[in-house]
Amino acid sequence: MEKPLMIALDFDDLAAVTAFLDRFPDPSQLTVKVGMELFYQAGPAIITDLKKRGCDIFLDLKLFDIPNTVRQAMAQIGQLGVDYVTVHSLGGSAMLKAAKEGLEIGAAKAGVDAPALLAVTELTSISDEVLKNEQHAALPMQDQVLALAQMADQAGCDGVICSALELTTLNAHLRPDFLFVVPGIRMQEDQTGDQVRVASPDQAAADGAKAIVVGRPITKASDPVAAWHRYQNAWQG
């Protein structure tokens, strides 16, 4: 899909994912995100299952380790045939380059397309205060996210994970085809939970997000399909 709404499948097993997806008339139109909670329990079999359903897949494992370890891990991930993967930008440019190399090695080995590599800048749960007082970052949030995004671009990443609040700055400085994938998405009536840098789907669209990630407002809704339509309508405009 050109402008995906990625549903975060933050469930603890395949049975829960199946029950959720079976509510949708056509799961093949969905883009879904598999994170640590689900992948650590279900393993690569979950990817096989989602591919059979025809979903586009974002594998969000946020790798963060020394370059050699990240290269080897990404060489495994690159064989899975997923569409997007994540790495932490704070691991530095050598680690980001190693991530890209690993993905290309794995994808070539399996004869599949390499996924888009997205670097997490500052998590959307991080506030300005935490950035300053706990991470001891020298830069304010906008500049910090921009600096990490520019490093990610130069290291060969295809895009970043950021909040909607940095989109205007990022769009002014990064190439037009660089991907900005935005979690921390909430409509006014929905609880923010642990998310701090939050915006609505229509605000993210107006500010130039290329994709949004929505989890609990859809997965925990009493009618997830209706919630998905509500977010899609606001996002697609």
Residues that bind ligand LLZGTKA7 (CB under 6 A): 8, 10, 35, 120, 123-124, 161, 183-184, 193, 195, 213-216
124 is in an annotated binding site: yes
Chain residue at closest Cβ approach to ligand LLZGTKA7: 215
| Annotated active-site residue in 3, 49, 51, 65 | 65
Give the whole-angstrom CA distance, residue 103 versus residue 194: 31
171 is in an annotated binding site: no
User: Cβ closer to ligand LLZGTKA7: 53 or 216?
Assistant: 216
Give the whole-angstrom CA distance, residue 223 versus residue 23: 9
Closest CA to 161 of 205, 114, 210: 210
| Annotated active-site residue in 56, 60, 158, 207 | 60
51 in catalytic set: no
71 is in an annotated binding site: no
Contact residues for 189 (Cβ-Cβ < 8 A; gap 6+): none
132 in catalytic set: no
SS3 37: helix
| Least distance (Å) between residue 131 CB and ligand LLZGTKA7 | 13
Would you state the structure tokens that stand for residue 177, as one six-digit string? 């085809």
| Annotated active-site residue in 3, 49, 51, 62 | 62
Phi, psi of 119 (to 5 degrees): -100, 130
109 is in an annotated binding site: no
223 in catalytic set: no
User: Cβ closer to ligand LLZGTKA7: 31 or 124?
Assistant: 124
In order of 96, 97, 144, 187, the CA distances from 71 in angstroms are 9, 8, 25, 38
**Which residues are tagged catalytic?**
60, 62, 65
